[in-house]
Structure 1
Amino acid sequence: LAFLLLFTVVATGLELTVGADEPQILLSREVALEGTGESIGVFNLREGDGIEDAVASFALQVGLTAGEEASLLSSVHKEAISMRLVPLKSMDVTLPEGRKMSGLQIFEGDNVREAVLLAAEQAGVRDDEALVEELVHSVIKELKKDGIVPVLSLQVSVSDEAETVSLQMFDGDEVDDVVSKFVTSYGLNEGQAASLRDQVFLRRRMHGLDPLLELEVEFGDAFPPFRLFEQEVFDDAVTRYADANKLTAEQRESLRKDAARRGMEDGFLPYANVTVSLPAAATGLP
Structure 2
Amino acid sequence: MKKLSKKTLNKSYLSWFYGNLTCFSQEHMQTFGYLCAMLPVVEELYDKKEDQKKALQTYTAFFNTEPQIGSLVVGMTAGMEEAKANGQPIDGDAINGIRAGLMGPLAGIGDSLIVGTLIPILLGIGLGLSADGSPLGAIFYIVVWNLLMWFGMRFAFDKGYSLGGKAVEILVGEQAQAVRDSILMVGTVVIGAVAASWINITTALPLPGGGMLQATLDGIFPKMLSAATVFFCWWLMTNKNISPTAVMGLLVIIAFAGVLIGFFDPGLSY
The TM-score bracket by the shorter chain reads under 0.3
The answer to which structure, 1 or 2, has the higher relative contact order (CA under 8 A, 6+ apart) is 2
User: Which structure shows the higher strand fraction?
Assistant: 1
Q: TM-score, normalised by structure 1?
A: 0.20
Indicate the structure (1 or 2) with the bigger Cα radius of gyration: 1
TM-score relative to the length of structure 2 = 0.21
